[in-house]
Amino acid sequence: METNQVIGREQEKKILQQAIDSPDAEFIAVYGRRRVGKTFIIKDYYRELINFEMTGIKKVSTKEQLENFSEALGKATGFGFEPKTPKTWFKAFSQLEQFLNSSKPKKRNGKKVVFFDEVPWLNTTRSRFLSALEHFWNTYASLQTDLILVVCGSAASWMIQHIVMSKGGLHNRLTRQIRLLPFTLGETETFLKSRKIKLTRFQIIEVYMAMGGIPHYLKQISPGLSPPQIIDEVCFSPSGLLRKEFDKLYSSLFDNSSQHLKIIKTLAKKKQGMTRKEILKSVGLISGGTASKRFDELEESGFIQSYVPFGKKTNEALFWLSDEYSLFYIDWISKLGKKESGKDYWMARINSPKRRAWAGYAYERLCMKHTSNIKKNLGIAMVETKESPWRYISSPENEIPGTQIDLLIDRRDQTINLCEIKFSETEFTIDKVYAKILRQQMETFMKVSKTRKSIFLTMITTFGLKKNGYSSELIQQSLNINDLF
C-alpha cells in the first residue's frame, strides 16, 4: 500500500501491509511512549481503509467515554447525526457490529479497519471495556475475514499486561504486534531532510543527544538554525516544547508517576548504571510486585534499559537511563530558574567542561542504541553477540588496576571487541598517555576475565581516528558517525 508521509518504520509498515494481504481477520496491538508516532503511522498507512476510529479520553467517566464512542460512530456513518448513546460497552460493540455489517470496505482488498486509540484510557474503573472488547473479537470480529482490529496505547506496560500477554479472554488472540520505538539516527536524518532541515550528521547527533528520536520533538526544529540555536529554541526558551514537557510526559503515561520519576532521577545521577537492589534502596521502594511493575513500565516504554555485564549473572543486571530527553532535562533544563528566559543558554555553554562531559556520556549511550549498525560495519552482523559496558573496580587484595570499557561485544566466533567511544569535533588522536591507558585496559580485562577469546580493540569516534604509530599498533578497527546511520 502506498503511503506518502511515514518516514522510515520499514518493519512496522511491513507488518501493517501483511495484515492487509492476510486472508483472515487481524488483531494488531501497537504500543510505545507518548509522541513516538503510534497514531500517525496507523492513520497514515490505513487512512483509506479506516471504517471506524475513536480515541480514549484521559480521566473521564465511563458515561463520557460512551458518549465519545457514540460521537465517533456518528462520524463513521456519515449521516450527520449521532446514534443513541449506549449504556454499556457491550451495547456499544453491538452497535459497532451493526454498523460494520451495513458498511462496505472503503478501499481495495476488501478490508475494513477498526481503530481504538489510547485503549488504556477507555478501560475506566468497573467499565468492563476489556470484557466487551474480548467478546467483540471472540464472537464477531475474529470471524470477519475482511476486518483489521487495531488497538493502540501509550501506557506500554498496560498494553503488555492486558492485551499482548493477556491471561483472560484475549489470551493468544493477537495476530500481530508493534512496539514503536523512537527513530534511529538514520530515520532521523531522513525525517529532517523531508522537512527541509539541512544538518550534517555530526549536527544531527548533537540534536539527537538532547531530544532523542521522538518525531513530535523533531518537528519543533526550524530550518536554518544551528544545533545550539535549535536546542536553545526548543529546550530552553519559555515557549519551547521541551522546557515543560518532562512532567507531562510521565504523568500522562503512568499512575503514581512520582515513583517512576524517582527511579529516573536516581539513574540520571549514576551514569554507569545501577542494580535493581541499589535503585530500590535509593528511592525507598520495597522489592515486590509494585516495584517490578514500575521497572516494567519504564522499560517497556523505552525510558530505561537493562544489560547484563560480561561475566555477570542475570540477577546482577544493571539499569541505565536510556531516554535522551529525560537525561538532558534533568542535567540541564531543570537547572533553569522558572523566570530565566533561557536565551542563548546552550550557546553560551558550547565549550564548558560540563557540556563536554555530558556529550561524551550521551555519545556512548547513542552508540549502545545503535549496536546493530556497529556490528554491520564491523562485518559481524550475522554473528550472535552480547553487548554491554564493562568495568572493574580495583580492590586492596590485588594489584590489578580498575578500568572501564565503554562497549564490549562478546562474539560467538570466539572473539571479543573492546570498543572505546570518543566524542570530539575533529579526528581523534591516540597519544602516548592514552595509548598507555588502552594497554592497561586490555591487560586488566584479560587478567580479570581470564578469557581465551581473541581481543580486538576497536575505536568508535565521531570523525575517525588519526593514523599514527599508536593507532597502528593498538587498534584493529575504527568506526565513525557514518557507521551509526
SS (H, E, C) the chain: CCCCCCCCCHHHHHHHHHHHHCCCCEEEEEECCCCCCHHHHHHHHCCCCEEEEEECCCCCCHHHHHHHHHHHHHHHHCCCCCCCCCCCHHHHHHHHHHHHHHCCCCCHHHCEEEEEECHHHHCCCCCCHHHHHHHHHHHCHHHCCCEEEEEEECCHHHHHHHHHCCCCCCCCCCCEEEECCCCCHHHHHHHHHHCCCCCCHHHHHHHHHHHCCCHHHHCCCCCCCCHHHHHHHHHHCCCCHHHCHHHHHHHHHCCCHHHHHHHHHHHHHCCCCEEHHHHHHHHCCCCCHHHHHHHHHHHHCCCEEEECCCCCCHHHCEEEECCHHHHHHHHCHHHCCCCCCCCCCCHHHCCCHHHHHHHHHHHHHHHHHCHHHHHHHHCCCCCCEEEEEEEECCCCCCCCCCEEEEEEEEECCCEEEEEEECCCCCCECCCHHHHHHHHHHHHHHHHHHCCCCEEEEEEECCCCECCCHHHHHHCCEEECHHHHC
Nearest to 323 by CA among 368, 388, 353: 368
Classify residue 237: in a domain, yes or no: yes
Q: Which residues contact 286 (CB under 8 A, 6 or more apart)?
A: 280
Domain identity same for 129 and 198:
no
Q: Which residues contact 169 (CB under 8 A, 6 or more apart)?
A: 130, 131, 134, 135, 138
Classify residue 5: in a domain, yes or no: no
Domain identity same for 170 and 250:
no
Look up the CATH number of the domain holding residue 444. 3.40.1350
Q: pLDDT tens digits, the chain, 485 residues: what are they?
A: 454 578 889 999 999 999 999 999 999 999 998 899 999 999 999 988 999 999 999 989 999 999 999 999 999 998 777 889 999 999 999 999 999 998 877 665 579 999 999 999 999 999 999 999 999 999 999 999 999 999 999 888 788 888 988 887 788 899 999 999 999 999 999 999 999 999 999 999 999 999 999 999 999 999 999 999 999 999 999 999 999 999 889 988 887 889 999 999 999 999 889 999 999 999 998 888 889 989 988 998 889 999 998 988 888 899 999 999 999 999 999 999 877 778 899 999 999 999 999 999 999 999 999 999 999 999 999 999 999 999 888 887 778 888 999 999 999 999 999 999 999 999 999 999 999 999 999 999 999 999 999 999 999 999 999 999 999 999 999 999 999 99
pLDDT the model gives residue 79: 74
**Last residue of some domain: 179, 198, 218?**
179
Domain identity same for 192 and 54:
no
Domain identity same for 251 and 159:
no
Residue 275: other Cβ atoms inside 10 A = 15
Q: Are strands 112-117 and 147-153 parallel, antiparallel or unpaired?
A: parallel
Classify residue 136: in a domain, yes or no: yes
Classify residue 162: in a domain, yes or no: yes
CB 174 within 8 A of CB 163: yes
d(CA 263, CA 270): 11
**Last residue of some domain: 125, 148, 179?**
179
Domain identity same for 219 and 161:
no
How many residues are there in the chain? 485
pLDDT the model gives residue 168: 78
Domain identity same for 256 and 291:
yes
Rounded to whole angstroms, what are the CA distances from 363 to 133, 424, 442? 44, 10, 22
**Last residue of some domain: 368, 385, 407?**
368
Domain identity same for 163 and 233:
no
d(CA 26, CA 144): 9
Look up the CATH number of the domain holding residue 16. 3.40.50.300
Nearest to 72 by CA among 59, 86, 82: 82
Nearest to 250 by CA among 33, 70, 2: 33
d(CA 343, CA 337): 12
d(CA 223, CA 198): 7
Residue found under cell 503514581:
256
Domain identity same for 203 and 129:
no
pLDDT the model gives residue 1: 46
Domain identity same for 288 and 312:
yes
Domain count of the fold of the chain: 3
Amino acid identity of residue 5, one-letter, is: Q
Q: Are strands 318-321 and 304-307 parallel, antiparallel or unpaired?
A: antiparallel
pLDDT the model gives residue 247: 87
Which structural domain range is residue 136 located in? 10-179
Domain identity same for 78 and 38:
yes
Residue 438: other Cβ atoms inside 10 A = 19
Classify residue 170: in a domain, yes or no: yes
Classify residue 416: in a domain, yes or no: yes
Residue found under cell 599508536:
470
Q: What pTM was computed for the model?
A: 0.89
pLDDT the model gives residue 108: 56
Residue 386: other Cβ atoms inside 10 A = 13
Domain identity same for 34 and 127:
yes
Classify residue 4: in a domain, yes or no: no
pLDDT the model gives residue 4: 55
Classify residue 1: in a domain, yes or no: no
Residue found under cell 510505545:
32
The 304-307 sheet, strands edge to edge:
274-275, 318-321, 304-307
Domain identity same for 360 and 382:
no
Nearest to 119 by CA among 152, 79, 165: 152
Q: Are strands 112-117 and 304-307 parallel, antiparallel or unpaired?
A: unpaired
